[in-house]
Structure formats: C-alpha cells, structure tokens
Amino acid sequence: MKNSPRAALFLLLAATALTVPARAQDVPPVVTAIFKSWETQLKATPAYDKIETDSSGNVTISNVAATASAQDPGTTMKLSIGSIALENVATEAEGLIAVGAATFSDTKLEFTGPQNKSFVIDIPKASAEDWYVAVLGANPTPLQVFRGSMGIAKKMTSGEIKITAEGQTFTAKGIESAWSGDPVTGAGKTTMSFNDLVIPESAIALLDPAGQLKALGYSGLTLNAGGEGEFTVTGESFGMSGTINIASKDMAGLTFSYGASDIPIAVMAEMQAAQKSGRPPDFNMLMPQLMNVSLSGFTVRFEDASITKKVLPIIAQMQGMDQAAMVANAGAMMQLSLMQLRNQAFTDQVVAAVNSFLKDPKSFTVSFKPAAPVKVEQVMALDPANPGAAVDVLGVAVTAND
C-alpha cells in the first residue's frame, strides 16, 4: 500500500508541524524544528490556541487545526487535534532533539472530495516514545533534508480507530510500530501492524451491491495488515528492503517482499524540491542516477484461506464449462500462452504450479530473485524480443503450495 499502516501514525507525528505561533520567541526549539520539517510537506495553514511549557522540558500544544493540500486538487484534508503533549524534551548531538514521549489526543482527519463526499478518521488517543526530531540548518544537505522528512520514533501506538465513509462506520483496534537504528541518518529496522479493521455487512452491501461476497459466505470482513522493513544509508545513497502483508480473516492473504539499494539521495532531494515548488519531478535529469539502482528481488505471494474454492465454479461458469474441465484445461492453456517466451523450462514450471494450485489451492507465489542484484541499467538493456532470456537473468520463478 502507498499509505501503509505506519502512514497514519507518521501523519500524527507530522501533525505537530501544523501550528504557527503568534510570537516566534514563544515557540520552543523542538516545535520550531517540527514546524520547519513538515510545513512544506503538508502545505498547511494551521492554527492553535496556545503552547505551554514547564521547567521539566515538557511542551503542550492545544487545539490544533489545519487545512492541508492533498495530491488530488479536488480533495482537501482538514486536521484537528485536541492536544499534543511532548514530554522530556532534550537537545542531543548531531542536530537532533529527543522527545521522550508524545501523546496525541482527539485526532480527526477529514478528507473531502468531489460532490462533497467525505472520508473521516477519528483517533481518540495515540502516542510515540523516544521520538527523534531532526533540526535543519540554513543550508541542509540532501541527506539532512531527507532525514528531516522522516518521522522516527522507537515506538508508536494508537488506540481504537474509527473510519466513517458513505454513512458507514468501520473500526480497527489500532496501529503499532517499532523502530531501532541510527537516529541521525534514520537507518534501521521497522516492524508495524494495523489490527482488526472490521467491515460490517451493511458496508459490504454498499461496496458489493450485487451481493456476490455474501453469496460466497462473506457477510463481514476483518482485515489485518503488517510488515517489517530495513532502511540503510551508505554515503549519498540509501536502500530499502522488507515485507508487507495484507490478510482478510478466513478469506485470503497477500504478501509483498522487495529489495533495492544504491538509490541516490539526490533523487529524493529532487522529488522534494519538485513537491515544494508544485512542479513534476524532472525524470530526465534523474534517469542517469537511477540507472545505478540495484534490485535484489521482488515477490508476490497469495495464500488461500477459503476463497479460491468458492470462486472457481463461478469462473468456470463464465467460461462456459464446469470446474473439473476448467482445471483440466488450465495447464494446456497456460502452455500456449507462454510459448512466445521461448523458455520451456520456465513454461513447465508455471504450468506445474498452476495445475497444482487449482487442484489443491493453498498458496501461489511469483518472484524474481536474481543470483546477484541487478541494476536498472541492466534491466533496461534486456532484449524485448527475447523475453525468455530476461526470465533467466531476473531469476523469475512461479511456485504453488510451498
């Protein structure tokens, strides 16, 4: 997902950038740093009632409100937070300010799109522990700007989340995230989970007016998402790897794994500059640097919990045959469709996987895992007239029930 489970708490961290002080001298350095970090990203014009501080380094911001620009020009986002409490604030080396604990109370995000249709997220309580805020100087380097755009805390959690859309209400138990690593560069490992989003039968009826899901036996859905990842920084480049999984209880699940390295930080700097100025990124300028990006692999895995056996008869009926005939013919049809690859070993592998899965649906996996990381330049140089060779170079594999 582009807006992963971590994104909601990440936005909560961003929320502290949404206030503009009446008198700059009244604003603690930690708040100033947060303002500067997120002001451009969110393009918000915020307001708040007051900022209070005490001798222990605690800061409380009351009644934050802002209207932020969304990527879609036809959509607006309104944010309100009852209070943001920052505890045990201390200045650290390397341009960092540490926040021992942050608590967000009564957070509400409202997205309004065309025809005034709204999507509202209510989070009564959320928190972050050991949050490291980067302080940007007058002329930050691309790495410093990149680090300043990251919300890094050792632990982030929320209580129950309520989502309202089209008159329907969904609830989730909450979000949890943990991070460990280097707070200066942001390099480290992250785990996250988005727990028990319940979609009731009334909402499914709106999403599926034909009633197909109900006919299949799914009167309600419970979704969970999670994952783990690692972010690395080497010189002026960074890398990312990880796994993301999304599952519907008693239905099915999807898992995505990825790995890439040697991504120039200058690329991120250009994208941030483009966003700040309201223009598209200059990909012609970026392309020479992107050619050296290394891809170590990508995997998509489907794990069945019940849905495949329920939809196979429907698919067979749509093709004008019974299920047994469709399963029996699937391998032959796959064999014909892959002939143009001119890679018999791969074709045999795919046919065997498809036959195995349709006869006993458990899991189906498509992956590319080259023997050594492949640079984008190598991928671009592959001969489009010889796709079978590309399969071997990229280490493409298809398996079932493993």
The reported pLDDT for the residue numbered 287 is: 87
In this structure, what token pair is assigned to residue 43?
């393009």
Q: How confident is the model at residue 105 (pLDDT cuts 50, 70, 90)?
A: very high
Q: What digits encode the pLDDT tens for the residues 202-236?
A: 888 887 888 888 888 888 899 999 999 999 999 88
According to the model, what pLDDT value does residue 142 have? 80
Is pLDDT at 72 greater than 80 in this prediction? no
- The CA–CA distances, whole Å, from 60 to 30, 101, 102, 165, 341 equal 11, 12, 9, 31, 63
Question: pTM for this one?
Answer: 0.83
Cβ–Cβ < 8 Å for 132, 110 = no
pLDDT in the model for residue 2: 40
pLDDT score of 283 = 79
- What local confidence, expressed as pLDDT, does residue 1 receive? 39
pLDDT average, residue stretch 317-329: 89
pLDDT exceeds cutoff 90 at 346: yes
Rounded Cα distance, 154 and 130, in Å: 5
* CA-to-CA separations, 188 to 148, 156, 236, 252, in angstroms, rounded: 15, 15, 16, 31
With contact defined as beta carbons under 8 Å apart, do 295 and 379 qualify? yes
Question: What does the domain layout of the chain look like in residue ranges?
Answer: 5-290, 304-400
Q: Does the structure show a pLDDT above 70 at 258?
A: yes
Q: 288 pLDDT exceeds 90?
A: no
Q: Does residue 6 carry a pLDDT above 70?
A: no
**pLDDT average, residue stretch 35-45:** 67
**pLDDT at residue 303 above 50?**
yes
When pLDDT is averaged across residues 98-113 and rounded to a whole number, the result is: 93
Which of the listed ranges 54-63, 118-127, 195-204, 331-340 does the model predict with the highest average pLDDT? 118-127
**Is the pLDDT confidence value at 9 over 80?**
no
Residue 254 has what pLDDT? 97
Q: Quick one: average pLDDT of 248-273?
A: 90
Backbone angles phi, psi at 79, to 5 degrees: -120, 135
Q: What is the pLDDT of residue 45?
A: 63
> Does 17 have pLDDT greater than 70?
no
Distances 165 to 2, 9, 309, 379, 389 between C-alpha atoms, Å: 20, 20, 31, 42, 48
pLDDT in tens, 163-199: 998 888 899 999 999 999 999 999 999 999 999 999 8
Tell me the average pLDDT of the chain.
Answer: 86
Whether 192 and 154 have beta carbons less than 8 Å apart is answered as no
Q: Are 85 and 69 in contact (CB under 8 A)?
A: no
The arithmetic mean of pLDDT across residues 108-126, rounded, is 89
Per-residue pLDDT tens digits for 151-166: 899 999 999 999 998 8
Whole-angstrom distance, CA of residue 82 vs CA of residue 107: 7
- Predicted confidence at residue 31, as pLDDT, reads 82
